[in-house]
């Protein structure tokens, strides 16, 4: 099961991703928004991030116009590592090196086609571990 949430800036991309997730055998959990009217991205992203943080789901997908606001909200949760991705390679690295558990997409700046490829990569790429484990473990060590 893959929860997915977006504001109006990512609404259409969210719908496209939901279709693709079903096609490739995942069960999307649509956490809104459910129309293209303007909404505040924190209202959509907090509930998803909370569930990832609590371990209800392994991975999630969030979308806003730039991907930044959504990512900022999600990363307030200690066990969330939300990565803003805009290319296939960045997406691979977010999983391999950062063990990202939320993919944040810039709905207004990448094509739907690229987003669908990135979603697949995100869900299928393993964390490399090794030297990256030590680094990921230091992320929450605020000084
Ligand atoms: C909404 O207009 C836009 O600000 C939002 O989607 C996002 O880009 C915020 O970071």
Select from 3.30.565.10, 3.40.50.620, 3.40.50.970, 3.40.1400.10 the CATH code of 2-137.
3.40.1400.10
Question: Model confidence over 100-143: pLDDT tens digits?
Answer: 999 999 999 999 999 999 999 999 999 999 999 999 999 999 99
For ligand 1, atom 7: residue with the closest CA? 65
Question: Model confidence over 2-52: pLDDT tens digits?
Answer: 999 999 999 999 999 999 999 999 999 999 999 999 999 999 999 999 999
| Domain ranges across the chain | 2-137
Shortest CA distance to 36 belongs to which of 10, 59, 58, 17?
10
For ligand 1, atom 5: residue with the closest CA? 65
Name the pTM for this structure.
0.98
Put the strands of the sheet holding 60-64 in their side by side order: 28-30, 2-6, 60-64, 102-106, 82-84
Tokens of 58: 């392994």
Ligand 1: which atom is nearest the Cα of residue 9?
Answer: 6
Shortest CA distance to 107 belongs to which of 6, 28, 31, 21?
6
């Amino acid at each position: 099961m893959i929860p997915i949430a977006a504001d109006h800036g990512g609404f259409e991309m969210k719908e496209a991703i939901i279709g693709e997730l079903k096609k490739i055998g995942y069960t999307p959990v649509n956490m809104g928004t459910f129309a293209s009217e303007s909404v505040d991205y924190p209202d959509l992203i907090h509930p998803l991030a909370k569930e990832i943080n609590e371990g209800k789901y392994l991975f999630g997908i969030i979308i806003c116009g730039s991907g930044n606001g959504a990512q900022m909200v999600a990363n307030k949760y200690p066990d969330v590592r939300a990565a803003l991705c805009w290319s296939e390679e960045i997406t691979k690295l977010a999983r391999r090196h950062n063990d990202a558990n939320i993919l944040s997409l810039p709905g207004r700046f990448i094509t739907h086609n690229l987003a669908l490829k990135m979603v697949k990569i995100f869900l299928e790429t393993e964390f490399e571990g090794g030297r990256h484990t030590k680094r990921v473990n230091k992320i929450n060590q605020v000084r």
